[in-house]
Amino acid sequence: MSNLIIDEGNTLCKAAIADNGVIVSQTAGADVDAALSQLLTSHYNINNIISISTRREKVELPDDLKTIPHTHLDAATKLPIKINYSTPQTLGRDRIAAAVGAQVLFPASNVLIIDVGTAITIDFLDRNGVYQGGAISPGPEMRAKALNTFTGKLPLVDVPDKSELAGKSTVEALQFGILNGIRFEIDGYISAYRAEMQDVKILITGGAAGIVCRADAVCEPNLVIIGMNRILEFCTKK
């Protein structure tokens, strides 16, 4: 049985095919059509589809896929985890999927999930499979654009993969300030959670995850897709 998974994010649309729980093919593009154009040439027999979108209410499927059962992940979707959140209808579907993916990778564990993308999200799933909420802050590009937009003279900079404590130019000061700020922020969250409980797994994902990956963490770029596939399996099991 093959599942088609579509994750329409703020920057890219990712699509993948999972066969018996294993991701066997994946691609990405600017939109759904671009992401699917290459993927669907793989000739897998797709039985079910699951999708999420941060751009719109629902993903619009191509006509040739509209006859296939389609689960759009929303607040009413059945989940293999519990959600302890006062406004579940506003909870990002990518955050839900990431938490489910964390449970797949680390069952019966406390997991701190760090997603570094357009925004940075810090989420916590406890060992009982209960999502306990988290935090949201600006991602690397958003910080760079804010410094450029809301000042008169600061340039727009790219965020590097490496930094030092002190920049020797205004460009470096901006680059290192953004990158170090993100790293120190994430270090602070990890330290705070570990101060409360020693047995916390650290799971990092997102398009910019590489700038914060560390030796004591697992970096999984497909975390959201893994979680979406698990949700689809949970919803369609007989």
**What domain range is 25 assigned to?**
1-72
pTM for the whole thing? 0.90
Number of domains composing the chain: 2
Dump pLDDT digits (tens) for 12-46.
Answer: 888 899 988 888 888 888 888 888 877 765 567 88
Read off the amino acid at residue 28. Answer: A
Q: Indicate whether 38 and 103 sit together in one domain.
A: no
Residues tagged active-site: 94
Measured between alpha carbons, how far is 222 from 16 in angstroms, rounded to an integer?
Answer: 10
Measured between alpha carbons, how far is 39 from 89 in angstroms, rounded to an integer?
Answer: 31
Picking from 72, 100, 119, the residue at the C-terminal end of a domain is 72
Picking from 72, 99, 125, the residue at the C-terminal end of a domain is 72
Measured between alpha carbons, how far is 2 from 158 in angstroms, rounded to an integer?
Answer: 39
Measured between alpha carbons, how far is 167 from 18 in angstroms, rounded to an integer?
Answer: 45
Q: Indicate whether 6 and 121 sit together in one domain.
A: no
CATH number at 194 reads 3.30.420.40
Q: Indicate whether 6 and 62 sit together in one domain.
A: yes
| pLDDT, tens digit only, all 238 positions of the chain | 789 999 988 778 888 999 888 888 888 888 888 888 777 655 678 889 999 988 777 888 888 888 889 999 988 899 999 999 999 999 999 999 999 999 999 999 999 999 998 899 999 999 999 999 999 999 999 999 999 999 999 999 999 888 899 999 999 999 999 999 999 999 999 999 999 987 999 999 998 888 898 899 999 999 999 999 999 999 888 6
- Cβ pair 120, 172 in contact under 8 A: no
Question: 170-196 and 140-149 helices cross at what angle (nearest 10)?
Answer: 130
pLDDT at 185: 96
